[in-house]
């Protein structure tokens, strides 16, 4: 008997209030790394109508040399908050900067000047990486990501793209997407429900908006997957047998962005990772330099899991890395592998042999001291094809095969 279920994941656009904060935090990080790769950053932001607060800890050199207010304004401007009368504007928002130097007690464990004479983890905690081949048969593949989150991100990026390109100029930056995928025996077989909500100008009629988003966003992204047809996407939503599409289902969405809802850095951790598939250690990414294993070890865990699946050692792989503050070696490395071609114990041993899992090794392997972080702040940290996303490479496949005797 077939095992059927529906799994749903969501994404948000870069204009969502939480993502505005992530973008500001990672923009601060990039400017700091551009100034000096050794700079440390743990930056968080809060936003609401007419206000941004930038806080956290940075290296003293950053405080002396960076205009954080202008960094925040430029990030907001790049997102597209430049329209008048929507309660949030790059040039008009008040920016309150409350950054301070990093604690010396923390830095000694990271610098190798503490009890252990090498770079240790910037904090304790556990981080997870995940990869799956479930979307390999889809047009173009899904970069070894779960299908629901991969497609939700594509919708969110397309929603932003049609706004910024002028195709749908009455859209504003805030938006959300959601995709429900039906699985049969662990494989995606159909898209069942889609939700797209977009902030928009008051003179944009709802009927026109729904038609435009369906035709310019939903159909171009989802119809080519083969999991739903253009005819099904046009189906009336009151037909319970149809593939339902909900566009701005509450009606008008004229009041959005930070005017309508407060935002915080690091509040979209499931959007940032695997959409609820696999587990999450709880640590956010944005605004943290790679000495913080919350970020760098999560990137490494994804790198490991993706290479395991790309090597054909498993159809699905989840990797947990755990650390103690100030200690270099991970306190545990845990591997789960579905559809494994070799015993999991062999995969685990090969991971230890092939990958350097110490914080300094992670930073070196993935080249993480560069200003590469602002693009990660929206549309997910994983499943991306940009060159700077080094943790998405599959360059350890041959080494893993050799280590497992494949």
Structure-token pair, residue 386: 């940009």
pLDDT in tens, the chain (406 residues): 678 999 999 999 999 999 999 999 999 999 999 999 999 999 999 999 999 999 999 999 999 999 999 999 999 999 999 999 899 999 999 999 999 998 766 555 566 555 555 788 888 899 999 999 999 988 888 999 999 999 999 999 999 999 999 999 999 999 999 999 999 999 999 999 999 999 999 999 999 999 999 999 999 999 999 999 888 888 754 444 456 899 999 999 999 999 999 999 999 999 999 999 999 999 999 999 999 999 999 999 999 999 999 999 999 999 999 999 989 999 999 999 999 899 999 999 999 999 999 999 999 999 999 999 999 999 999 999 999 999 999 999 999 999 998 7
Chain centroid to CA 72: 20
What whole-number distance in Å separates Cα of residue 297 and Cα of residue 306? 14
Q: Say whether 253 is catalytic.
A: yes
Q: Which of 362, 356, 392 is nearest to 291 (CA)?
A: 362
Report yes or no: 193 and 240 within 8 Å, Cβ to Cβ: no
Q: What is the DSSP string of 222-277?
A: HGGGSSS-HHHHTS-TT-TTS-EEEESTTS---S-HHHHS-EETT--HHHHTTTTS
Rounded to two decimals, the pTM is 0.94
Q: Name the helix (H) or strand (E) containing 198.
A: strand 187-200
Q: Which of 154, 157, 176, 358 is catalytic?
A: 176
Q: Which of 7, 14, 19, 289 is catalytic?
A: 19
Q: Say whether 294 is catalytic.
A: yes
Q: Which of 23, 243, 288, 358 is catalytic?
A: 288
What whole-number distance in Å separates Cα of residue 74 and Cα of residue 368? 23
Q: Say whether 44 is catalytic.
A: yes
Q: Say whether 288 is catalytic.
A: yes
Q: Which of 61, 170, 267, 393 is catalytic?
A: 267
Q: Which of 292, 306, 381, 396 is catalytic?
A: 292
Q: Which of 10, 14, 18, 232 is catalytic?
A: 18
* CA gyration radius, the chain: 22
Residues 65, 68, 71, 77, CA torsion sign: negative
Q: Which of 253, 285, 355, 389 is catalytic?
A: 253
Q: Say whether 123 is catalytic.
A: no
Q: Which of 26, 123, 294, 318 is catalytic?
A: 294
Q: Say whether 268 is catalytic.
A: yes
Q: Say whether 19 is catalytic.
A: yes
Beta strands in 277-378 (DSSP E): 316-323, 332-338
- 3-state SS, one letter per residue, for 33-92: HHHCCCCCEEEEEEEECCEEEEEEEECHHHHHHCCHHHHHHHHHHHHCCCCCCCCCCCCC
Q: Say whether 105 is catalytic.
A: no
């Amino acid at each position: 008997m077939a095992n059927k279920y529906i799994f749903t994941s969501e994404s948000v656009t870069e204009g969502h209030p939480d993502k505005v904060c992530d973008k500001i935090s990672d923009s601060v990080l990039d400017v700091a790394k551009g100034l000096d790769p050794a700079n440390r950053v743990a930056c968080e932001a809060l936003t609401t109508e007419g206000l941004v607060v930038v806080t956290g800890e940075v290296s003293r050199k950053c405080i002396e040399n960076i205009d954080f207010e202008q960094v925040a304004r430029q990030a907001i401007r790049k997102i597209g908050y430049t329209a008048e009368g929507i309660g949030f504007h790059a040039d008009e928002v008040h920016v309150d900067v409350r950054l301070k130097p990093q604690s010396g007690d923390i830095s000694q464990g990271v610098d190798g000047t503490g009890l252990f004479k090498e770079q240790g983890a910037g904090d304790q905690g556990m981080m997870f990486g995940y990869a799956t081949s479930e979307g390999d048969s889809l047009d173009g593949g899904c970069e070894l990501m779960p299908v629901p989150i991969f497609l939700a991100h594509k919708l969110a990026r397309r929603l932003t793209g049609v706004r910024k390109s002028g195709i749908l100029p009455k859209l504003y930056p805030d938006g959300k997407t959601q995709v429900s995928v039906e699985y049969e025996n662990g494989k995606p077989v159909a898209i069942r429900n889609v939700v797209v909500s977009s902030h928009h100008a008051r003179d944009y009629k709802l009927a026109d908006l729904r038609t435009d988003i369906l035709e310019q966003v939903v159909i171009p992204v989802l119809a080519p997957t083969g999991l739903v047809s253009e005819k099904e996407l046009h189906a009336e939503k009151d037909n319970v047998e149809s593939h339902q599409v909900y566009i701005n289902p509450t009606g008008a969405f004229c009041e959005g962005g930070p005017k309508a809802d407060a935002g915080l850095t690091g509040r979209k951790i499931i959007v940032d990772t695997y959409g609820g598939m696999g587990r999450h250690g709880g640590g956010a990414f944005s605004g943290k330099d790679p000495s913080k294993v919350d970020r760098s070890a999560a990137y490494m865990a994804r790198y490991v899991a993706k290479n395991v699946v790309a090597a054909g050692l498993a159809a699905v792989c989840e990797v947990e890395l755990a650390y103690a503050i100030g200690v270099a070696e991970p306190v545990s490395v845990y591997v789960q592998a579905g559809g494994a071609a070799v015993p999991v114990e062999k995969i685990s041993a090969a991971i230890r042999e092939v990958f350097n899992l110490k914080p300094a090794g992670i930073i070196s392997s993935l080249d993480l001291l560069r200003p590469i972080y602002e693009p990660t702040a929206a549309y997910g940290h994983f499943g991306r094809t940009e060159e700077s996303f080094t943790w998405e490479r599959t360059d350890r496949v041959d080494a893993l095969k050799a280590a497992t005797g494949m």
